[in-house]
Amino acid sequence: METLLVDRFGRVHDYLRISVTDRCNLRCVYCMPEEGMEFEPDDRILTFDEIVEVVQVLARVGVRKLRITGGEPLVRKNLEVLIGRLSAIPGIEDIALTTNGIFLAPRAERLKEAGVTRVNISLDSLRADRFSLITRGGDITKVLASLEESVRVGFQPIKLNVVLMKGVNDDEIADFLRMSIERDVTVRFIEYMPIGHDDDGWRTRYIPLSTVLDVCADNGWAVAPHGEVYGNGPSRNYRIEGARGTFGLIHPVSDHFCESCNRLRLTADGNIKPCLYWTDEFNVRTYIGNPEGMQDMFFRALDVKPLNHEMAQALAQQAQSHTPTVRRMSQIGG
């Protein structure tokens, strides 16, 4: 019988998010400071050989889905080579890519050929000037070109990730919903999370995602739950009546999805994080060349995985049972 990665709460883990770099060509306001970020030196970043070895071990214990993240994964040279090697590992059935979309258009076809099946593209505003402010210099025309190219090469599904921020982009909710009506895409609204914030400033930008459903009601759009978006993960999905696409709500803070969590995270510097929010990490480099030891380490990591991340307590300024991470999302893997 196949050994599966099951934690003490009965959750089966078949999904690994792999950060291939902590570097990014943008400086989004919710992810990185404008300046002063210290990036890992190249010799501390996992090599392709090391990543492949980790995935080979995990595939033997039931991991079937991979997501390539960063930082911005497309700043990693020759990423298509890694994708090709990962897609050839027995047991790996699906490889997704999360990207800011700036570099995606000219590489989409090669990534598809290498084995990427679906993409998530960050798009926090549809207004060029505001997009530039949020990303601190990003060019929205390149992202929109990447969206068109993703459609052309056949990535399916295509998801657009929108981090919703009060007073920043919450006046664009209806515009994003219209995009889901007009296009065969999934627009996913994501709550602003306190990841890597050592102050309370994130609370001033936090807005509950019930606002999205309020906007639907205000526009007279009939909405029904929709559960057929492949790889939907933590998103609660909906379709507006008559829409070509769907929209999703990801509530990590107000209505966490931890009870169904099926993922581990591999950071660019070689640490397995069983939970996004807490400090617990297990370094895989200790076990390179020792697959049995590495497999045992994965089970130890699951033994410390909590039932939930308690971000709601952080929002309410209540005590938490574990120590939150001080790593930023770019350092963990988005």
Among the ranges given (39-48, 52-61, 87-96, 244-253), the one the predictor scored with the smallest mean pLDDT: 244-253
- Residue 51 pLDDT > 50: yes
Q: What's the CATH number where 170 sits?
A: 3.20.20.70
CB-count exposure of residue 51 (10 Å: 0-12, 13-18, 19+): buried
- Residue 311 has what pLDDT? 46
241 in a structural domain: yes
6 in a structural domain: no
- Residue 326 has what pLDDT? 53
- Judge whether 186 and 237 are in contact, CB under 8 Å: yes
Task: Kindly report, residue by residue over 75-122, the tens digit of the pLDDT.
Answer: 999 999 999 999 999 999 999 999 999 999 999 999 999 999 999 999
CB-count exposure of residue 64 (10 Å: 0-12, 13-18, 19+): middle
8 in a structural domain: no
The partner residues of 240 in beta bridges, in order of sequence, read 223
- Residue 31 pLDDT > 90: no
3 in a structural domain: no
Q: Considering its fold, how many domains does the chain have in total? A: 1
CA geometry: angle at 302 spanning 297 and 308, to 5°?
Answer: 150
81 in a structural domain: yes
Task: Kindly report, residue by residue over 270-280, the tens digit of the pLDDT.
Answer: 999 988 666 78
Q: Which amino acid is at 325?
A: T
Burial 281-300 (b: 16+ CB within 10 A, else e): bbebeebbeeeeebbebbee
1 in a structural domain: no
pLDDT-derived band at 239 (thresholds 50, 70, 90) equals very high
55 in a structural domain: yes
Q: Which domain holds residue 136?
A: 15-332
- Residue 5 pLDDT > 90: yes
Length of the chain: 334
- Residue 232 has what pLDDT? 44
2 in a structural domain: no
- Judge whether 55 and 89 are in contact, CB under 8 Å: yes
